[in-house]
Amino acid sequence: MLDRFNNPALLEQALRHRSAGKPHNERLEFLGDAVLGLLVSEALYAKFPTASEGDLTQARSLLVREPVLADIARERDLGARLQLGPGEMKTGGHRRDSILADAVEAVIAAVYLDAGIDAARRLVAEWFGPRLQLVPARSAGKDPKTRLQEWLQSKQHPLPAYRLVQATGSEHERVFEAECLIEQLAIRTQGRGSSVKAAEAEAAQQALILLGKAK
């Protein structure tokens, strides 16, 4: 879809970080955040016709968050297409969750401006589709670590072990990687986030997906 822009300058701007000069993607990021929130809300509203407002809000929060957006950017290799200034290039900005997540939102906005809401909806369905199918509604009020612990306890399995793998980035933009290990089930997953807690939660969510318990 990204190779069919009527106005390629929009896509170029969406992939230009502010460190690379103007016009950069911050305004597009602002718009893309709103468009993505609307389209994910719309998809969840249709998927869970009996879910409460609170459940829908929690389900949306599982999808529209930095680690998820950054993972989608990596799946689509957006990092390799980013325009970054020399400083960000030197410090590995194309791998940083915050920059990747912002690029996803900016690209969604660029598609919306270039081809309209239906095109943006198709892009969100393509990029978020598998996650939309797996996201829980009724249990979304509980964080992934709690849901994983409760399921393991219900099956009389040992609780998972969490380990901090590494922390990268500058002091003000740290990215943490954590591991979730369920040795008895031979499950080892990783998660990334802007805090250790967020990274562990993402690792737990990946374990739930492997167990088929994320929905």
Average pLDDT over residues 58-67: 85
Query: What's the confidence (pLDDT) of residue 214?
Result: 60
- Ligand-binding annotation for 202, yes or no, is no
User: Is residue 53 annotated as a catalytic residue, yes or no?
Assistant: no
If you average pLDDT over residues 198-207, what whole number do you get? 90
Ranges 49-58, 114-123, 187-196, most confident: 114-123
Q: Give per-residue pLDDT as tens, 91-114.
A: 887 888 889 999 999 999 999 999
Listed residues 134, 159, 176: the one ending a domain: 134
Q: Is 29 annotated as a binding residue?
A: yes
| pLDDT surpassing 90 at residue 173 | no
pLDDT at 194 over 90: no
Per this entry, what is the length of the chain?
A: 215
The answer to whether residues 178 and 89 belong to one domain is: no
Q: In which domain, by residue range, is 14 found?
A: 8-134
> Does residue 1 form part of some domain?
no
User: Residues 160, 104: one domain?
Assistant: no
Q: Look at 143 and 31; give whichever has higher pLDDT.
A: 31
| pLDDT at site 141 | 53
Nearest to 200 by CA among 191, 209, 208: 191
Task: Decide if 129 contacts 41 (C-beta within 8 A).
Answer: no
Q: Tell me the DSSP string of 6-18.
A: SSHHHHHHHTB-G
- pLDDT for residue 150 is more than 90: no
- Let me know whether 150 and 103 are in one domain: no
Q: Looking at the structure, tell me whether residues 127 and 160 fall in a common domain.
A: no
| DSSP summary character for residue 114 | H
The CATH number for 171's domain is: 3.30.160.20
Looking at every residue in the chain, the average pLDDT score rounds to: 88
CA distances (Å), 153 to each of 121, 149, 150, in order? 39, 6, 5
The DSSP 8-state label assigned to residue 165 in this structure reads E
C-beta separation of 149 from 167 below 8 A = no
Beta strands in the chain (DSSP E): 161-168, 175-182, 187-193
The pLDDT value recorded for residue 136 is 67
pLDDT value of residue 20: 86
Residue 3: inside a domain? no
pLDDT at 17: 93
Token duo for residue 139: 């249990």
Contact 86, 61 (CB under 8 A): no
Mean pLDDT, rounded, for 138-153: 77
Residue 38 confidence (pLDDT) above 70: yes
C-alpha distances (whole Å) from 174 to each of 90, 144, 195 are 16, 22, 8
Tell me whether residue 2 is in a domain: no
Catalytic residue selected from 71, 97, 105, 177:
105
Domain co-membership, 91 together with 128: yes
Asked if residue 79 and residue 52 are part of one domain, the reply reads yes
pLDDT at 161: 95
**Catalytic entry in 33, 66, 97, 200:** 33
- The question of whether 33 is a catalytic residue gets the answer yes
From 134, 166, 199, give the residue that closes a domain. 134
Annotated ligand binding at 177? The verdict is no
Instruction: Please state the separation of Cα 168 from the chain's center in Å.
Output: 18
| pLDDT band, very low/low/confident/very high, at 138 (cuts 50, 70, 90) | low
